[in-house]
Chains A and B, each alone.
Chain A
Amino acid sequence: QLQLQESGPGLVKPSETLSLTCNVSGVSIINRSYYWGWIRQPPGKGLEWIGNIFYSGTTYYNPSLRSRVSVSVETSRMQFSLKLRSVSATDTAIYYCVRHWGGGHIDYWGPGTLVTVSS
């Protein structure tokens, strides 16, 4: 059974870089059927797609975040990671790592981790 688990600091200062890692267990991260990605949800608001990555390293990003975001994968460690640069209070959100079937719909979600941007 696939499990996803986010890890990283829960508090980040404005203008700094938010860094999160997602550990994948139960299935191989190397699979042509899936993409791995990040979704966020500000408190009380809707879902926002951040970006996703194929095991080969191919990435796709939300145009509104593209200038600040990068997603990477370490297949040997069964992990993929998110970096969001120059954060501000508007980046405060629950961050979920997810699996996209065929790069499309999301069939597995991590439990999510709240990241607060504050000095």
Chain B
Amino acid sequence: DIQLTQSPPSLSASVGDRITISCRTTRGIGNYLAWYQQKPGKVPRLLIYDAATLQSGVPSRFSGSGSGTDFTLTISSLQPEDVATYHCQKYNSVLLAFGGGTRVEIK
């Protein structure tokens, strides 16, 4: 089975900072990767799919990149409402899987 590793597990940054979250897979998955945002106590929300396609309604400060085994979620200017845990998910086959999550906090 393909494993997904997110790094860092948590990060703390200032409002306005550019932050990046990594998701690495143990084998190549093409661009079959999605990113979700989960605010405390809330349901996850789709941010990006197919590695780089922004879901409708998601602010443009969010972007995704990568293919194969290395993927990145970038928030270009961190806002207070971005405090959340971010999850990556692969779907290159019928066997789906998630990364362990990255918690983002404001300094």
Contacts and interface: CB of A to CB of B under 8 A. Distances in A.
B37 to A, nearest CB: 12
B52 to A, nearest CB: 12
B87 A103 contact: no
A63 interface: yes
A109 B96 CA distance: 16
Contacts, number: 56
Chain B interface secondary structure, helix, strand, loop or mixed? loop
A52 B96 contact: yes
A107 B43 CA distance: 12
Given A104-B34, A106-B89, A107-B55, A60 B46 contact: no
Interface of A: 37, 46-49, 52, 60, 62-63, 96, 100-101, 103-107, 109-112
12 contacts: A46-B99, A47-B36, A47-B89, A48-B98, A52-B96, A62-B96, A100-B96, A103-B94, A105-B89, A105-B91, A107-B46, A111-B43
